Amino acid sequence: MSEQQASLLLRRQLTELHRNPVEGFSAGLINDADIFKWEVVIIGPPETLYEGGCFKAHLIFPKEYPLRPPTMKFVTDIWHPNIEKGGNVCISILHEPGDDKWGYEKAEERWLPVHTVETILLSVISMLTDPNSESAANVDAAKEYREDPAEFKRKVARCVRRSQEEI
């Protein structure tokens, strides 16, 4: 797929999200001149520790989209087992397509060209609802999630408060 085709596909997805918003997130461009760089705001899912938070993240799409996945990085501080301390999101559908060289993920769990911005963000919302502490990107958060849930909750609550102040 060419860069031009990727650009057209991303424009269609952005238009569709503006025409038919999906509950739980909003999406737009970081800079109107670059369709490959998006800013999203994820609303903390109801009845989770993240409820009430407004977490900004960037989705950066490769020129080979949709054959290759975007990267996603939270720019709002967030404490979660599947989000690196620097904000990079680590979930299966954002991993390069094909077999996992370590054998943790099946090829069908990884990036597939059928994924859209909507399916990516719904997966991230699901990840916030149900962290996977067995496959951690942030080992400290995963350990705390399992072994000291009260401290984990306190740190997440602090992130939620800060996210509300940044709006």
Task: Pick left, alpha or beta for residue 9 (phi over 0 → left; psi -120 to 50 → alpha; otherwise beta).
Answer: alpha
The reported pLDDT for the residue numbered 144 is 97
Q: Which tokens is 97 given?
A: 């397509």
Average pLDDT of the chain, as a whole number = 94
Query: How many percent of the chain have pLDDT more than 70?
Result: 99
Q: What is the pTM of this model?
A: 0.93
Asked if the model's pLDDT at residue 104 lies above 80, the reply is no
Q: Which one, of 53, 6, 13, 52, lies nearest residue 29 by Cα? A: 13
Paired with 58 in beta bridges are 39, 73
The reported pLDDT for the residue numbered 109 is 84
Whether 159 is a known active-site residue: answer: no
Q: What are the tens digits of pLDDT across the range 107-137?
A: 888 899 999 999 999 999 999 999 998 889 9
Report helix, strand or coil for 72: strand
Q: What are the tens digits of pLDDT across the range 53-103?
A: 999 999 999 999 999 999 999 999 999 999 999 999 999 999 998 877 776
Q: What domains sit in the chain, N to C, each tagged with a CATH number?
A: 3-89+102-166 (3.10.110.10)
The reported pLDDT for the residue numbered 166 is 86
Catalytic-role residue among 90, 93, 128, 160: 90
Asked if the model's pLDDT at residue 40 lies above 90, the reply is yes
